[in-house]
């Protein structure tokens, strides 16, 4: 019970610290930096629900992210809706798409499932390329408001929105990981055939995981257009987004809810620092080098490595 209280108190403290941060700093660089890192946290958590907890590697995460971004863009062009409504709508759309894709692809396993999800992302990109209402292949500009509520700038507002989304995603991931659902997904990850023989409703649990992944990935993508101010299919469906969504939980550790958060904070911060100090072209190099190193020397990620060292010491 004390651990539960400490966890929820920690999330509340994070939100309070975010409010203090927005009131104490005027340099928008810090908010841009923090927004990008927190976006990575939400994406990593979303990918890990299906790819880590259930062991179904998904290469189409950039597709869900982009669909969330374009859903928000399309709705904002239709009416001046508040960001909360855009985020909820993007999550619902991506969740329904995740459920539909799960019904079509979750009977596949291993590399076949991974290739199918990649194909789905390519289909989404082709559709967006030909959707003139949101700019098509040429992209579209989004003019965000100058301010929002009591925040000094819209970038500060977006930072706090993404911080709140990261807190929500963390709570969802932890609840799922520690629940009966999480134990069922772990059984699927270890041996799906044995889980089915033991009476685990594997398809039902995988559909829940796919839907939750879609919802959270839609949440991460919804504010992207207002943050970047210009979105085209190349940037929304970029390789870096898809690779980061996979690499961050792999580096942090995929079996526990804490792993994706650690991986996203470390890798996202390293990429932003490299972008400012050296070049943004190093981002994929950093991801590739870190991923190869951890797969070789710590295949269970940072959380798994620390756990192994702790058990060995005991």
Over the stretch 230-283, which tens digit does the pLDDT of each residue have? 999 999 998 889 889 999 999 998 888 999 999 999 988 888 888 777 776 777
Instruction: Give the whole-angstrom CA distance, residue 148 versus residue 156.
Output: 9
**Lowest-confidence range among 68-72, 132-136, 262-266, 305-309?**
305-309
DSSP 179: S
Reduce the DSSP state of residue 164 to 3 states and report it.
helix
What share of the chain has pLDDT > 90, as a percent? 55
Range of the domain at 94: 2-238
Reduce the DSSP state of residue 231 to 3 states and report it.
strand
Instruction: Give the whole-angstrom CA distance, residue 268 versus residue 4.
Output: 28
pLDDT recorded at residue 23: 61
CB 214 within 8 A of CB 64: yes
With respect to residue 25, please indicate whether it lies within any of the assigned structural domains: yes
Is 70 exceeded by the pLDDT of residue 199? yes
With respect to residue 100, please indicate whether it lies within any of the assigned structural domains: yes
With respect to residue 68, please indicate whether it lies within any of the assigned structural domains: yes
With respect to residue 39, please indicate whether it lies within any of the assigned structural domains: yes
What mean pLDDT comes out for the span 134-153?
A: 83
Return the closest-CA partner of residue 36 out of 215, 275, 239: 275
With respect to residue 294, please indicate whether it lies within any of the assigned structural domains: no
Supply the mean pLDDT for the chain.
88
Instruction: Give the whole-angstrom CA distance, residue 221 versus residue 236.
Output: 9
With respect to residue 212, please indicate whether it lies within any of the assigned structural domains: yes
Is 80 exceeded by the pLDDT of residue 52? yes
pLDDT recorded at residue 85: 94
Angle, vertex CA 258, rays to CA 254 and CA 263, nearest 5: 70
**Could you give the number of structural domains in the chain?**
1
What share of the chain has pLDDT > 70, as a percent? 96
CB 112 within 8 A of CB 54: no
Greater pLDDT, 41 or 312: 41
DSSP 40-65: HHHHHHHHHHHHTSS----S-HHHHH
With respect to residue 189, please indicate whether it lies within any of the assigned structural domains: yes
Count of other CB atoms within 10 angstroms of residue 303: 23
């Amino acid at each position: 019970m004390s651990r539960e209280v400490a966890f929820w108190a920690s999330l509340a403290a994070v939100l309070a610290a975010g409010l203090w941060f927005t009131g104490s700093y005027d340099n928008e660089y810090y908010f841009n930096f923090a927004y990008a890192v927190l976006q990575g946290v939400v994406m990593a958590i979303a990918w890990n629900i299906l790819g880590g907890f259930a062991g179904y590697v998904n290469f189409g995460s950039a597709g869900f992210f982009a669909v969330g971004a374009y859903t928000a863009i399309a709705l904002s062009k239709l009416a001046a809706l508040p960001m909360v409504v855009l985020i909820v709508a993007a999550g619902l759309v991506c969740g329904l798409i995740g459920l539909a894709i799960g019904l079509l692809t979750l009977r596949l396993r291993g590399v076949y499932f991974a290739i199918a999800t990649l194909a789905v992302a390519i289909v989404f990109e082709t559709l967006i390329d030909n959707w003139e209402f949101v700019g098509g292949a040429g992209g579209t500009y989004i003019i965000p408001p100058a301010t929002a509520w009591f925040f000094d700038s819209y970038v500060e507002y977006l930072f706090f929105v993404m911080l709140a989304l990261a807190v929500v995603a963390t709570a969802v991931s932890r609840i799922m990981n520690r629940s009966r659902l999480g134990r069922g997904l772990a059984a699927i990850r270890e041996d799906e055939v044995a889980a089915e023989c033991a009476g685990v409703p594997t398809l039902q649990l995988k559909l829940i995981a796919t839907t939750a992944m879609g919802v959270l990935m839609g949440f991460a993508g919804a504010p992207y257009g207002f943050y970047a101010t210009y979105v085209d299919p190349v940037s929304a469906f970029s390789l870096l987004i898809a690779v980061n969504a996979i690499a961050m939980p792999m580096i942090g550790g995929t079996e526990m809810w804490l792993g994706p958060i650690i991986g996203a904070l470390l890798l996202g911060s390293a990429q932003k620092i490299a972008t400012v100090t050296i070049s943004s072209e190093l981002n994929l190099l950093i991801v590739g080098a870190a991923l190869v190193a951890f797969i070789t020397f710590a295949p269970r990620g940072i959380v798994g490595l620390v756990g192994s060292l702790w058990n060995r010491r005991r």
